[in-house]
Amino acid sequence: MNKPKIVILGAGYAGLTTAARLQKKLNENDADITLVNKDHYHYEATWLHENAAGTLHHDRSRFEIKDIINSAKINFVKDTVTAIKPDDKKVELINGVLDYDYLIVGLGFEAATFGIPGLYENAFMIGNIDQARLLRQHIEYQFAKFNNETEPAQERLNIVVGGGGFTGIEFLGEIADRVPQLCKEYDVDRNKVRIINVEAMDTILPGFDPELIEYAMNSLEARGVEFKLGAFLKECREDGITIEVNGEKEDIPTNTTVWAAGVKANSLVEKSGLEHNRGKIEVDKYLRVPSHEEIFVIGDCALIWNKEIDRPYPPTAQIAMQEADVCAHNIKALVKGGEQEEFEFNNMGTVASLGHGDAIGVVMGDKKLFGWYASVMKKVIDNRALYKIGGLGLVLKKGKFNFLG
Ligand code: FAD
Ligand code: NAD
């Protein structure tokens, strides 16, 4: 092989971190590297709940990809991938076709709607900047419209969040903070607004520490969040949802259903014809596709087994960035020679925000954090992610420093 062609799909945590590492490890003469992303910017997906609620402007969560990559070493193509053709070693884009010697798939996640009627058409998601911005504007419009009607409609002020996992809980924390501001701005009585969480299991954050779950529920309930536990969201309409609790159906009128009840890998992965496990590619210890070792799959598109508990690792930015480090190392080894590295997840813990100045988390194995201290830790983690991609300059430009709560 002369100068190998390396194509990276997606400039999320996985893809952009890989690109940032590769441009330090390889020279212009070592390889032709192309990074493809559908937008000209990278967004911090882990901040999207803030953008969606309107507590943080979306421009704070995104930055230009060209500011991160060295254009002498990496060719950035702003385009949308439409198909991956592993047997032809080609990737189809809306505006062309790329061929590769090594492919890195980091196309991220989509909402999983589990075939629930009406969800895809009527619910709002928190999966990218476009979706977050739409949800923020939709909620504001509901408040703005409320006092402009002769018969004000309660469904405008009922905000339902489907799913009480980390995404749902983090969004609830932000929207609980945002609602009093919206009430003030649009002269709406706070008592008229309902924020309702619908969670299928009998607890929010299933599997997380019970003491921290209790803390989170108390924090959110104190700001007016209602929990419906053991409640399955069964149907979503433009003006309401149907839930089922203990076999009984209940309708809740709402113009705002936020679907935060699970994610799946980008569906292009499943459509590629590569063997998959519920849409994700189970990669080998070097993060390669077993049947096509020139393809690496990282981030939310990859499935890696946690042998300790015999379950896959959950899809997180934390693991995506660690995978990117190993992937970049292994690509360099393939191009310049050297040993490939095996991937091993180093769990740094989990911290979830509950809104302004409040959070919960478990770090350093079993150290529990909550309240202001946890919220500071969450900002440190958010800043660390920026640092890993763009160094100190990016932290100073986009970082979170409002530590006072
Ligand atoms: P993504 O971040 O989804 O990036 C994929 C990239 O591919 C994007 O740039 C996208 O535009 C691009 N792309 C997609 N399709 C195409 C296409 N067809 N053509 C071209 N480009 C395309 N994880 C944590 O570890 N900690 C947290 O605190 C945390 N908080 C979260 C909060 C929220 C609200 C959400 C939704 C998720 C959170 N996560 C968190 C999970 C984390 O965001 C994901 O695991 C992570 O984003 C996965 O990284 P990725 O690079 O695989 O994909
Ligand atoms: P999730 O799968 O973790 O949680 C989804 C929740 O929705 C579950 O509690 C599930 O019981 C519930 N649910 C599913 N179907 C339902 C239905 N029909 N009706 C009602 N409830 C239903 O998904 P997520 O919260 O989007 O998280 C996705 C990934 O991102 C996870 O790996 C998570 O760890 C990660 N994440 C991490 C953080 C953090 O570390 N701070 C924040 C957000 C997301």
Specify the 3-state DSSP secondary structure of 361: strand
My answer on whether 255 and 275 are in the same domain is no
The tens digit of pLDDT for each residue in 246-279 reads 999 999 999 999 999 989 999 999 999 999 999 9
Residue 82: give its domain's CATH number: 3.50.50.100
- Does 371 fall in a domain? no
- Does 208 fall in a domain? yes
Determine if ligand 1 sits within 6 Å of the CB of residue 379: no
My answer on whether 230 and 169 are in the same domain is yes
Residue 121 tokens read as 């058409």
My answer on whether 256 and 126 are in the same domain is yes
Q: Quick check: 375 and 353 in contact, CB under 8 A? A: yes
My answer on whether 128 and 92 are in the same domain is no
My answer on whether 73 and 162 are in the same domain is no
Specify the 3-state DSSP secondary structure of 88: coil
- Does 359 fall in a domain? no
Domain count for the chain? 2
- Closest by CA position to 136, among listed 21, 258, 8, 244: 258
- Does 136 fall in a domain? yes
Q: How far is the centre of ligand 2, averaged over its atoms, from the C-alpha of 9 (Å)?
A: 25
My answer on whether 230 and 256 are in the same domain is yes
What confidence score (pLDDT) does residue 152 get?
85
My answer on whether 224 and 150 are in the same domain is yes
- Does 374 fall in a domain? no
Looking at 203, 238, 261, the residue that finishes a domain is 261
Residues paired with residue 229 on neighbouring β-strands, in sequence order: 199
My answer on whether 70 and 148 are in the same domain is no
- Does 378 fall in a domain? no
Band (pLDDT 50/70/90 cuts) for residue 41 is very high
Task: Detail the DSSP E strand segments found in 192-278.
Answer: 194-199, 225-229, 231-237, 240-245, 248-253, 256-259, 263-265
Band (pLDDT 50/70/90 cuts) for residue 402 is confident
Residue 164: give its domain's CATH number: 3.50.50.60
Q: What is the ipTM of this complex?
A: 0.99
What confidence score (pLDDT) does residue 146 get?
97
My answer on whether 163 and 253 are in the same domain is yes
My answer on whether 37 and 66 are in the same domain is yes
Determine if ligand 1 sits within 6 Å of the CB of residue 109: yes
- Does 396 fall in a domain? no
Q: Which domain holds residue 55?
A: 5-111+264-347
The tens digit of pLDDT for each residue in 342-354 reads 999 999 999 999 9
Residue 192 tokens read as 């008229």
- Closest by CA position to 38, among listed 4, 9, 80: 80
Determine if ligand 1 sits within 6 Å of the CB of residue 131: no
Residues forming the active site: 170
What is the DSSP-derived secondary structure letter of residue 258? E
Ligand nearest to the CA of 34: 1
Looking at 305, 324, 347, the residue that finishes a domain is 347
- Does 77 fall in a domain? yes
pLDDT of 1 higher than 80: no
* Gyration radius of the chain's alpha carbons: 22
Handedness of CA 130, 132, 384, 312 (dihedral sign): negative
My answer on whether 171 and 284 are in the same domain is no
Q: Give 277's Cβ-side CA count (13 Å radius).
A: 11
pLDDT of 170 higher than 80: yes
Q: Angle at the Cα of 337 (from 333 to 340), degrees rounded to 5? A: 35
My answer on whether 130 and 218 are in the same domain is yes
Determine if ligand 1 sits within 6 Å of the CB of residue 107: yes
Q: How far is the centre of ligand 1, averaged over its atoms, from the C-alpha of 13 (Å)?
A: 7
Residue pointed to by tokens 């909402």: 111
Average pLDDT over the chain, rounded to an integer: 97
Band (pLDDT 50/70/90 cuts) for residue 209 is very high
Looking at 325, 347, 369, the residue that finishes a domain is 347
